[in-house]
Amino acid sequence: MTSPKTTSTTSTTSTTTTLTVDAQPGPFTYEPARTALVVIDMQRDFIEPGGFGESLGNDVSLLAEIVPTVAALLAFAREQGWLVVHTRESHAADLSDCPPAKRLRGAPNARIGEPGPMGRILVRGEPGNEIIEPLLPLAGEIVIDKPGKGAFYATRLGEELAMRGITRLVFAGVTTEVCVQTSMREANDRGYDSLLIEDATASYFPAFKQATLEMVRSQGGIVGWTAPLAALTAALTATQTD
């Protein structure tokens, strides 16, 4: 896949800078001061061998492949002073926030709340529930523990974004068709414009990832925009050289 052409426009005042990324289905425009990076569920239980993802019969190496790109995206967001949000799909120790419709998935001895190689699966405070080492949150970054697939459901994310005047969201993480897409749809319903970084998201099923990218940007961007990381960084570089 060839990288799309990247253009940038800059509108500056004493307090604002506007950048434009050449994304699909069209340009994605954002102000860094009003933009947040949301990294979805880059947890040991999903990405490392022995976790919940593997217990479902999945090849976790497909998710591990995006870790360097997500790390580069995190570094970019931090350098630009964006708000950074990390999510973890997790449940209370008593599983009071995990309905049977969700819990009764996977092998009987490897369901949510059951003991696994990294502690109880998808339970807050257990080793497997933690974000993987290369992507650990820094002090001051927001960490959202979510009991559902969407980042807004039963969490404080909406309030945190509103307090900071955030209007644009850039998404990364796993899995593309489940928690990432659900969170983007929730964001769209709440009035946020969202960009999904194509090479910073993954699925256990590559065809599902591709289908989700196409769904997100279909019909003029019915859910949001998509672009590779190179397009995002190139927009800033072009602005700096104007």
- Tens-place pLDDT, residues 160-208: 999 999 999 999 999 999 999 999 999 999 999 999 999 999 999 999 9
Residue 152, Cβ density class (10 Å: 0-12 exposed, 13-18 middle, ≥19 buried): buried
Which pLDDT does position 213 carry in this prediction? 98
- Tens-place pLDDT, residues 16-44: 789 999 999 999 999 999 999 999 999 99
| Choice between 108 and 70, residue whose per-residue pLDDT is larger | 70
Which residues form the catalytic set? 41, 146, 179
Which pLDDT does position 6 carry in this prediction? 33
- Tens-place pLDDT, residues 56-87: 889 999 999 999 999 999 999 999 999 999 99
Q: Is it true that the peptide bond before 99 is cis, omega within 30 degrees of 0?
A: no
User: What are the tokens at 115?
Assistant: 């003991």
* Cβ count within 10 A of residue 115: 12
Which pLDDT does position 120 carry in this prediction? 93
Above 60 in pLDDT, residue 132?
Answer: yes
Which own/partner contact pairs does 92-101 have at CB distance under 8 Å and 24+ positions apart?
92/123, 92/124, 92/147, 93/120, 93/123, 93/124, 93/125, 95/123, 97/147, 97/154, 98/147
Q: Which amino acid, 97?
A: D
CA distances from 224 to 122, 164, 167, 239, 241 (A): 29, 21, 13, 23, 28
Q: Look at residue 110 and give its three-state secondary structure.
A: coil
> For the CA atoms of 153, 155, 157, 162, what is the dihedral angle to 10 degrees?
90
